Amino acid sequence: MAAHNVKHALFCAVVTLVVAYPILGLNLVAQGTRVGLEGADASTIIIIFLASVAVFAFQLYRDTIMASLSKAPRLNPLAGREPMPQARRVKLESWVLTGIIVLALFWPFFVSRGSVDLATLVLIYVMLALGLNVVVGLAGLLDLGYVAFYAVGAYTFALLSQYMGISFWMALPLGALFAALFGLVLGFPVLRLRGDYLAIVTLGFGEIIRILLNNWTAVTGGPNGIGGIPEPTLFGMEFGRRVKEEGNTSFHDTFGIAYSGEHKVIFLYLIALVLAVITALVIRRLMRMPVGRAWEALREDEIAARSLGLSRTAVKLSAFTIGAFFAGFAGTVFASKQGFISPESFVFLESAIILAIVVLGGMGSQLGVILAAIAVTILPELAREFSDYRMLVFGAAMVLMMVWRPQGLMPMRRTHIELKRQE
């Protein structure tokens, strides 16, 4: 190896030390009103040094390692196989999806209340991710303020129920439509912007909406949020122990069964499931309709698409509005599930998590996004002791995905016609 290599490796190792040691190895602690400094425990220091040595070794033998990696046999057993024919793949996929949905329908009756509650949250994220998938994955518009539309949906329901006593079923379309309207109004001016400017502007919009919700105390209750949001009813049947509203009956009385708090949780789960399935199906249809093709065309090559007569504004706006619509859907369900909302739930981090789901699942791929939403929501719950590391891992995963597999874990497959192989 050349001396140049050693120098570079040494430099990298030193940088690793400089980057890691002051932040990880020296901890600031508050001592009364003053601030003191404490060294981290020995194991942290040892890990920092080991990391530095590892970086040195990797950089030193980088070429060799890379060469042997590319020569190593592919672990993926499917790699060498011929791709499944289009028709069979679609058939298989729809069978798998139907199976999952049937399983999801019956599953909540056999598990604990806590896991059904978690599953409802997962479904809300599925809706959000599917909606953002239209904007980011299909239309290629990086929206960093997506959570704003989620907030609009949730707050629409909360405010309407507080001031006008509107029920969940009335609020569901209203929340979604209102969010869509918001998307339309916001989208109109900003969609002329280029990709990265658009990202920053939507981020700004998201923050503005959060700050307004936080400070407009007279209407939104400010940081205290809004409570007492009603739960959904089933044809006028309430799920509480006692009937709250005149003219309604209670679910357990009507069917003559004992009251159980689980009914409500399962009902909410089923609503979320139905809505998530509707979201998936509607978007699946839209993807195959001319408007869906137009989204992808504009994403791939804006100039070519425009010269073929596509209206840039109309196409982008439709994606933006439809994405916002489903976020409003999810927001309404979220408000109903929590019974209480505050601006805390709609911070930028939430947008970043939804974006991470879309990116990890594979931009544009529905199945991938659904699986990623499930994984991203459930994994931190399974490993509670690591929950502090959740966002750290998300951040790292986003970077690594972009470096190694920008198309996501389950990349989108486009519908295409396969030619018969010539014999």
Partner 1 sequence: MQDLLYFSQQLINGLTIGSTYALIAIGYTMVYGIIGMINFAHGEIYMIGAYTALIAITGLATLGIAWLPLILIVALLCAIIVSSSMGWAVERVAYRPVRGRHRLIPLISAIGMSIFLQNYVHLAQGSRNIGFPALIDGSFRFGSGEGFQMSISYMQITIFITTLICMTVLSLFISRSRIGRACRAVSQDLGMANLLGIDTNRIISATFVIGAALAAVAGLLLGMYYGSVDPLFGFIAGLKAFTAAVLGGIGSIPGAMLGGLILGVAESMTSGYLSGEYKDVVAFSLLILILLFKPTGLLGKPEVEKI
In the complex, which residues of this chain contact partner 1 (CB under 8 A)?
15-16, 18-19, 22-24, 26-28, 30, 33-37, 136, 140, 142, 144, 189-190, 192-197, 199-201, 203-205, 207-208, 211-212, 214-215, 303, 348-349, 352, 355-356, 359, 388-389, 391-392, 394-399, 401-403, 406
DSSP letters of 102-160?
HHHHHGGGGS-HHHHHHHHHHHHHHHHHHHHIIIIIIT----TTTHHHHHHHHHHHHHH
| 284 versus 312: smaller Cβ distance to partner 1 | 312
Determine the Cα–Cα distance for residues 138 and 44; give it in Å rounded to an integer.
44
Closest approach of partner 1 to the CB of residue 115, in Å: 27
Nearest to 8 by CA among 86, 49, 62: 62
Minimal distance, residue 123 CB to partner 1, in Å: 24
In the bound state with partner 1, the residue whose beta carbon lies nearer, of 182 and 329, is 182
Answer for the pair 319, 209: CB distance below 8 angstroms, yes or no: no
Whole-number minimum distance, CB 49 to partner 1, in Å? 16
Count, residues in the chain: 423
Nearest residue (CB) to partner 1, 214 versus 260: 214
Nearest-approach distance from CB 201 to partner 1, in angstroms: 5
Q: Would you call 77 helix, strand, or coil by DSSP? A: coil
Residue 94 CB, shortest distance to partner 1, in Å, is 30
Give the integer Cα–Cα distance in Å for 323 and 327. 6
Find, among 152, 120, 123, 125, the residue nearest to 321 by Cα. 152
Residue pair 328/180 in contact (Cβ under 8 Å)? The answer is yes
Mention every residue, 6+ apart, whose C-beta is less than 8 A from residue 71: none
CB closer to partner 1 out of 36 and 173: 36
CB of 82: closest distance to partner 1 in angstroms?
29
Q: CA–CA distance from 168 to each of 108, 184, 220, 320 (Å)? A: 22, 24, 19, 25
> With respect to partner 1, which residue has the nearer C-beta, 273 or 356?
356
Say if CB 330 and CB 146 are below 8 A apart.
no
Q: With respect to partner 1, which residue has the nearer C-beta, 19 or 257?
A: 19
| Alpha carbons 198 and 141: distance in angstroms, whole number | 7
CB 65 within 8 A of CB 58: yes
For residue 136, the minimal CB distance to partner 1 (Å) is 8
| Torsion sign across C-alpha atoms 186, 192, 193, 195 | positive
Pseudo-torsion of CA 190, 194, 196, 199, nearest 10°?
20
The least CB distance from residue 208 to partner 1, in Å, is: 5
Q: Which amino acid is at 205?
A: F
Strand partners, 234: 237
Q: Position of tokens 């290629």? A: 140
Long-range contacts of 77-86 (CB under 8 A, 24+ apart): 85/418, 86/415, 86/416, 86/417, 86/418
- Say how far apart CA 240 and CA 397 lie, in whole Å: 42
Give the residue with the Cβ less far from partner 1, 256 or 309. 309
Cβ proximity to partner 1: between 190 and 273 the closer is 190
Q: How far is the CB of 26 from partner 1 (least distance, A)?
A: 5
Tell me the C-alpha distance between 203 and 193, whole Å.
13
The CB-of-63 to partner 1 minimum distance in angstroms stands at 16
Closest to 145 in 3D by CA, of 203, 209, 213: 203
Q: Which is nearer to partner 1, 26 or 111 (CB)?
A: 26
Nearer residue to partner 1 within complex by CB, 199 or 322: 199
As measured in angstroms, the least distance from the Cβ of 410 to partner 1 is 17
Nearer to partner 1, 53 or 396 (CB): 396
